[in-house]
Structure 1
Amino acid sequence: MRLRPEQLPAHLEKSLHTAYLVTGDELLLTQECCDQIRRACRTQGIDEREVLEVDRSFDWNQLLAAGNSLSLFAERKLIELRLGTVKMDQKSSAALQEYLQHSDGSNILLVSCGRLDSRSMNAKWVKALDGAGAVIQVWPVERRQLGPWIAQRMQSRGMQADRAAIELLADRVEGNLLAADQEIEKLRVLVGERPIDADIVASAVASSARYDVFKLIDAALAGNAGHALTMLNYLSAEGGEEIPMLGALCRELRTLYQCATAIEQGNGIERVLDNARVWDKRKALYKQCLQRHSSQALGNLLQLSARIDPALKGQSGENGKLLLTEMVAMLAGRPFLPN
């Protein structure tokens, strides 16, 4: 069974399955999903919990032993298997499948891990968990979804905020849901039941935006030049090194150039993107960018990158930061320097 995070509470009210997989990189939301499963276990009288932290030296016989061991204090227990970022191999996959095959349903297994790609989601161990219980994929909250997410979060705590306040808070904490939740709780304590406006948010909330070069690239691919340049300025002000940022941009540009060349040779865009191993979630961004840029335009950007590198290193008389800014703006389709 596949469940979205928002479907989990209703599911747990009706039934408690013997196995759950919670996967995703958004720490706050994955923690909350796991907490909901733990509470459901306690409601069912399952108070004992055994936690298994998996690392490279983990002995998978521990999982089988946990499932077979009897407790002196309870008939059932919750077994938490925390994979973190450890990759499942054939041996670990077999051990997990063996556990599920021999489980009599008395214990509950909660497996948590980071985001799984599409290939991993089709692995045998994931399908085994899917068949025995439920798989919950947690996706990051995109910027356009962040305002409604904050509004719903505030409403659930009895708070009132106008649209300007919500948007300002979203700007201050962009990409960092843990910070957003903490700031909402701080506002609840400071303001109480009074309506919240933008001035209150501006004075009470610190800037906790979680920017990185990959979000910068995605904004540029989407044609959102203003947002991309804001992130570039933020990263530079925070001490982000321009050379690694340039390297990440160049890697993306090379992939885009190869895709544009293949499409202009008559290949279908879906096949081209698959061959370039573009993730499904990023295909829409690539399509937007490839509609704006020909292979020649992308080649010009790569040539520009060859000027930026020595400029940033002080090996030429050009302004490297200005050229990097222009490169991002051009990728987003909004150049500002004269040809």
Structure 2
Amino acid sequence: MPPAPRRSSSRSSAPAGLSWEDVEPAPVVLVSGPEDVLADRAVDRLISRARATDPGLEVTRLDAVDYTTGTLGVVTSPSLFAEDRLVVVAGLERAGDELFADVTAYVAAPASDVVVVLRHGGGQRGKKLLDTLRAQKVPTVTCDAIKSDADKSSFVTAELRRAGRRADAQAVRALVDAVGSDLRELAAACAQLVADTSGLIGPDVVERYYGGRIEATGFRVADAALAGNSGQAVALLRHALATGVDPVPIVAALAAKLRVLAKVAAVRGRGTAAVRELGLAPWQTDRALADLRRWTPEGLAVAISSVAQADAEVKGEGRDAQFAVERAVLRIAAASGTA
């Protein structure tokens, strides 16, 4: 299993907040946070690294919901054949007191030939145990949720870099728009592009593979509306609605685009440093600055008001959600022409 120096140091000076790419086997490892894709990768890496040391590694998976008292002690007890073992305990955030008690006792004196991986998906349940693990300096993989477009763009860039590939900023943005609602699908899309294409990945490649995805539709409608292209925006919108896309995410896409415009418009007079402090991805600020050339403050106010009205109507205050979103699209496109 892990070399002795690494095991002995893990409880005295192990770093907290490790990336899934950096974690190494240790007697006890905590994988903490709600992002399951990153957590799964951390667990897979630990299994792979431990198996590289012992190809006969025995892997046992326990679910906190089904746990019975004493099970952890049984699966980590000395083996008859002395093979190395790795135990994954999933769902600590849903665990009962029996599991918390067993894990707390185990962490105080872990077995030397076993790696125990504790998976906690977030929340306050089990906080006392988590505090104990931190006090013991158990190696911790942090799997924070990846929700913002900026974080998803960074994720895509890192995925491609690990595969020895690159995509330009527009391609990254297009991929996030297309499949960014689910991180697992985003990772799969990156893998497909790596496998099926060569060279620098551009927006035309992303459009060819993923341009028809439902997740992209709202943003494409928004792009056309903000550009003042009412005909294209309405055509995209009607196609989306006809193929079953709900009006709510389309309005959300319109609102998201306008929020970025409003944020950049509010600080652009203070220089590029103020724009950078907004925390947006570079392609977002570049796109917003270009779009704002067509907009006046009055036009932006009209567009934001139109989206607010549509948002209320598609969530139950109006009789016809499709009419509400189409009216908002037309008003936004017209407002952009006031620039």
TM-score range, shorter chain: 0.5 to 0.7
Kindly state the Cα deviation for residue 240 of structure 1 after the two structures are TM-superposed: 7.3
Residue 5 in structure 1 maps to residue 5 in structure 2: no
Q: Which residue of 2 aligns with 1:82?
A: 90
Cα gap change, 1:307 to 1:61, in 2 (>3 Å): closer
Which of 157, 179, 185 is 2:185 aligned to?
A: 179
1:197 CA drift (Å): 1.7
Shift in Å, 1:210: 6.5
Could you tell me whether the CA contact under 8 Å between 1:60 and 1:92 is conserved in 2? Answer: yes
In 2: Cα distance, 1:307 partner to 1:238 partner = 17
Unaligned regions of 5+ residues in structure 1, if any?
A: 212-225, 227-231, 250-300, 313-318, 328-334
Tell me the residue number matched to 1:287.
Answer: none
Q: In the TM superposition, what whole-angstrom CA distance separates every residue of 1:199-238 from its partner, at most 9, and x where no partner exists?
A: 1211122655769xxxxxxxxxxxxxx8xxxxx9999777
Equivalent pairs: percent with the same residue? 14
Question: What SS does the corresponding residue of 1:112 show, helix, strand or coil?
Answer: strand
**Alpha-carbon distance between aligned partners in 2 of 1:109 and 1:78, rounded to the nearest angstrom:** 6
Gaps (5+ residues) in structure 2?
1-14, 217-225, 227-236, 253-307, 329-334
Counterpart AA for 1:89: G
Instruction: Tell me how many residue pairs correspond in the alignment.
Output: 250
Aligned equivalent of 1:59, options 68, 74, 77: 68
The answer on whether the counterparts of 2:58 and 2:86 sit within 8 Å (CA) in structure 1 is yes
2:206 match: 201
Q: In the TM superposition, what is the alpha-carbon distance from 1:138 to its structure 2 partner?
A: 0.6
In structure 2, do the counterparts of structure 1 residues 83 and 238 end up closer, same or farther at CA, with 3 Å as the change threshold? farther
Cα distance, 1:78 vs structure 2: 1.0
SS at match of 1:34: helix
Matched, 1:20 2:34: no
> Structure 1, residues 164-203: CA drift from partner, whole Å, max 9, x if none?
22211121111322212222222222223x3322112111
Residues 201, 183 of structure 1: alpha-carbon distance in 2 compared, 3 angstrom cutoff: same
Aligned to 1:160: 166
C-alpha deviation, 1:311, in angstroms: 4.2
State the shift of 1:325 in Å.
9.2
Residue pair 1:18, 1:132 contacting (<8 A) in 2 also: no
Q: Distance in 2 between matches of 1:154 and 1:103?
A: 38
Distance 1:81 1:154, change over 3 A: same
The residue matched to 1:159 in structure 2 has which SS? coil
Q: 1:308 to 1:78 in 2, by over 3 A?
A: closer
> 2: distance between equivalents of 1:208 and 1:128?
45
- Given that 1:20 and 1:129 are in contact with CA atoms closer than 8 Å, whether structure 2 keeps it comes out as no
Distance 1:40 1:191 in 2: 30
Quick one: distance in 1 between partners of 2:18 and 2:44?
A: 15
Paired amino acid for 2:193? L
Which residue of 1 is the match for residue 117 of structure 2? 110
Q: Label 1:307 to 1:161 Cα distance change in 2 as closer, same or farther (>3 A).
A: closer
SS at 1:3's partner residue? coil
Question: Is the Cα contact below 8 Å between 1:67 and 1:99 reproduced in 2?
Answer: no
Task: State the superposition RMSD in angstroms.
Answer: 4.5
> Matched residue of 1:2: which SS?
coil
Following the alignment from structure 2 to structure 1, what is the Cα–Cα distance between the partners of residues 41 and 238? 33
Q: Per the alignment, do residues 49 and 147 of structure 1 end up closer, same or farther by CA in structure 2, a change over 3 Å counting?
A: same
Q: Structure 1, residues 90-145: CA drift from partner, whole Å, max 9, x if none? A: 2221121122234243311011242x12x34x722222333262222211222112
Indicate the SS of the match to 1:60: coil
Counterpart mapping for 1:308-319 below 5 A: 309=316, 311-312=318-319, 319=320
Alignment-mate amino acid for residue 76 of structure 1: D
* TM-score normalized by the length of structure 2: 0.58
Amino acid at match of 1:128: T
- Go from structure 1 to structure 2 and tell me whether the alpha carbon gap of 1:54 and 1:210 turns closer, same or farther (over 3 Å shift): farther
| Equivalent position to 1:150, from 156, 166, 176 | 156
Other-structure match for 2:47: 38
